[in-house]
Amino acid sequence: MGENSLRLPGSIDLAPSRSFTETFPEWLHEWVVTVDHKRLGMLYIVYAIFFLLVAGAEAVAIRIQLAFPGNHFLVAQAFNRFFTMHGTTMVFLVGMPILFGFGNYVVPLQIGARDMAYPRLNAFSFWLTAFGGLFLYYSFLGGGGLYGVGSAPDVGWWAYAPLTAKAFSPGHATDYWALALIVSGFGTLGTAINIIATVVSMRCKGMTMMRLPLFSWLMLVVSGLTLITITPLTAAQIMLLIDRYLGGHFFDTQAGGSAVIWMHFFWIFGHPEVYVLVLPAFAIANEVIPVFSRKAIFGYPAMVAASVGIAFISLSVWAHHMFTIGMTSVSNTFFVLSTMLVGIPTGIKIFNWLATIWGGKIRFATPMLFCTAFLYQFLIAGLTGIMLSVAPWNWQLHNSYFVIAHFHYVLVGAIVFCIFAGIYYWYPKATGRMLNEKLGKWHFWLFLIGYHVTFDTMFFVGILGMPRSIYTYEPNRGWNTLNLIVSAGGIIQALAVLLFAVNLIWSYFRGQQAGNDPWDAWTLEWGTTSPPPPYNFAEDPIVRSRRPLWDLKHPEDPDWEYEG
């Protein structure tokens, strides 16, 4: 016993590094035709960060317009396009690509595989997603765009029927929205299939499902959930296009179609989608929190069960977005219950993270700072979610800024914070250089302050009755000061994100050398070089526990003696 066949990184036979005589076209060509999971993962992440900056700029424009009542920074039509594009971009062109980017980069490394199961499908999926995004943004120029205000989608990212019908949305704005998401949706489906196949069939010797690192476990769950949820969205969008161009009447209320059916289709996608985005964030926290607390994750089996449980329950809660559409009291009651039930597995997760920290020796490097803030913010996100699940209260809060604050607590407070944590955590692995810690801490604290100034205040604006999606408001409604504060916070967040962008670029050239294992971590990706060679491992690793590198570093006290 005690012998471990995973060879330490120094012994890995490195592929020759790229020669410096490579010309720019050669370099570009390599990136375009690559089927390497690491390069594709980085392409996903860079693509997503680019759109994060774009959609962030849209958010800043929205907040400038709303800083004062009756402001004239944006006209109504432009504002509507901006909030539609902000939401659509953040969900489809930032959230999903970046999380699949992490999945692509980390999962094969973590399970000791040489690549994804289907490298070519992987490249195909990425380029579909990329063209979907470019197509969506072409809408600012194309179609009727050259005539003035642009023809970017302006129907809200939820695109409720019948506002999307030809009668109410002439021109091509809605078509851009539907077609772009169908295209990028197919890319997402391809990646989801790929991750499932990879995790199921490419694990290295000794890595049973109950030794799979939690990050990979959650990516598996997310991919399964993605297959289930993207499908109804794509179906609904095709139905919408049939309505618009082939004389269909699925959602055409003037010809007897149903607006409510669209809502059901959209939210049976839309709610699980929240979990598609948040589970990878949990996945990142599952790696970062134990490593920086210097303890094994508490309750691994419970964490796996809770993740599967969340995915399962999340498929039954969609109509809590629809408490105000006049469902029967019995249906409302059902969705109150299913929604509240999600609180139980998410609660278990928070308690397990807390127990992981408990008794540890916490190192507050930047990834851990982001994850610590995530724990508080996700707690608030969950509790405000419980408030919103109380249907009668929801009748007041629905579509108000309270809801905006709540879901930004999930999407920013939990997901974006974990994405930042993930980038600070794996950037050294991907580039071989550390991100600058000093800039990282500035980024963290500025972003944290800006975030709370914005979104904490939004709860109060919402309780004072301000609805979402309005481009202006009257000065006598009591919302003026609060809106100004919200906007100020938005500017602070934008500054923090710019610092982050600077850090990414600066550290790529000047960052401190990382070495193979800068965080003293325990999963297989830290057992190879930074950046890893093509095909990752010279020799297939063999593992005997959930933390193969812990076993290597502590041969006197290996994990396999304790894991049940």
**Residues of span 515-554 touching another protein by CB under 8 A:** 554
308 binding another protein? (CB under 8 A)? no
Q: Which of 260, 449, 542, 552 binds another protein (CB under 8 A)?
A: 260
| Shortest spacing between CB 289 and another protein, in angstroms | 11
Q: Which is nearer to another protein, 17 or 476 (CB)?
A: 476
Q: Which is nearer to another protein, 540 or 557 (CB)?
A: 557
Q: Which of 299, 432, 531, 533 binds another protein (CB under 8 A)?
A: 299
Helix, coil or strand: residue 433: strand
The two structure tokens encoding residue 490: 């938005």
Q: How far apart are CA 296 and CA 294, in angstroms?
A: 7
**Residues of span 60-89 touching another protein by CB under 8 A:** 75-77, 80
| Shortest spacing between CB 380 and another protein, in angstroms | 7
- Name residue, tokens 């009542």: 69
Contact between 245 and 256 (Cβ < 8 Å): no
| Shortest spacing between CB 469 and another protein, in angstroms | 4
333 binding another protein? (CB under 8 A)? yes
Q: How far is CA 142 from CA 61, 135, 167, 181, in A?
A: 22, 9, 21, 17
> Per-residue contact track with another protein, 140 to 169, x per CB under 8 A?
--------------xxx---xxxx---xx-
501 binding another protein? (CB under 8 A)? no
Stretch that binds another protein, among 114-122, 331-339, 404-412, 440-448 (CB under 8 A): 331-339
| Shortest spacing between CB 470 and another protein, in angstroms | 4
Nearest CA among 418, 423, 413 for reference residue 504: 423
354 binding another protein? (CB under 8 A)? yes
| Shortest spacing between CB 248 and another protein, in angstroms | 15
**Residues of span 444-463 touching another protein by CB under 8 A:** 463
Q: How far apart are CA 195 and CA 206, in angstroms?
A: 19
Strand partners, 205: 542
Contact between 402 and 459 (Cβ < 8 Å): yes
| Shortest spacing between CB 200 and another protein, in angstroms | 25
Contact between 213 and 287 (Cβ < 8 Å): yes
Q: Which of 332, 431, 457, 487 binds another protein (CB under 8 A)?
A: 332
Long-range interactions of 119-124: CB distance < 8 A, separation 24+: 119/35, 119/36, 119/37, 120/35, 121/190, 121/193, 121/194, 122/35, 122/37, 122/40, 122/190, 122/191, 122/194, 123/33, 123/34, 123/35, 123/40, 124/187, 124/190
242 binding another protein? (CB under 8 A)? no
* Helix or strand holding residue 140 (H, E): none
Report which DSSP code applies to 8: P
208 binding another protein? (CB under 8 A)? no
Q: Which is nearer to another protein, 464 or 484 (CB)?
A: 464
Q: Which is nearer to another protein, 120 or 363 (CB)?
A: 363
319 binding another protein? (CB under 8 A)? no
Contact between 337 and 306 (Cβ < 8 Å): no
Q: How far apart are CA 527 and CA 523, in angstroms?
A: 7
- First-residue to last-residue Cα distance in the chain: 17
| Shortest spacing between CB 554 and another protein, in angstroms | 8
Nearest CA among 358, 350, 483, 360 for reference residue 414: 350
Q: Which is nearer to another protein, 22 or 557 (CB)?
A: 557
355 binding another protein? (CB under 8 A)? yes
| Shortest spacing between CB 486 and another protein, in angstroms | 16
Stretch that binds another protein, among 13-21, 110-118, 180-188, 255-263 (CB under 8 A): 255-263
| Shortest spacing between CB 4 and another protein, in angstroms | 17
Q: Which of 343, 432, 531, 533 binds another protein (CB under 8 A)?
A: 343
Contact between 524 and 471 (Cβ < 8 Å): no
Q: How far apart are CA 346 and CA 312, in angstroms?
A: 12
User: 233-270: b or e for each residue (b if 16 or more CB lie within 10 Å)?
Assistant: bbebbebbbebbeeebebbbeeeebebbebbbbbbbbb
Peptide bond into 541 cis (omega under 30): no
Q: Which of 392, 509, 510, 556 binds another protein (CB under 8 A)?
A: 392
112 binding another protein? (CB under 8 A)? no
| Shortest spacing between CB 281 and another protein, in angstroms | 17
Q: Which of 34, 71, 231, 399 binds another protein (CB under 8 A)?
A: 399
379 binding another protein? (CB under 8 A)? yes
> Per-residue contact track with another protein, 9 to 48, x per CB under 8 A?
----------------------------------------
| Shortest spacing between CB 506 and another protein, in angstroms | 27
347 binding another protein? (CB under 8 A)? yes
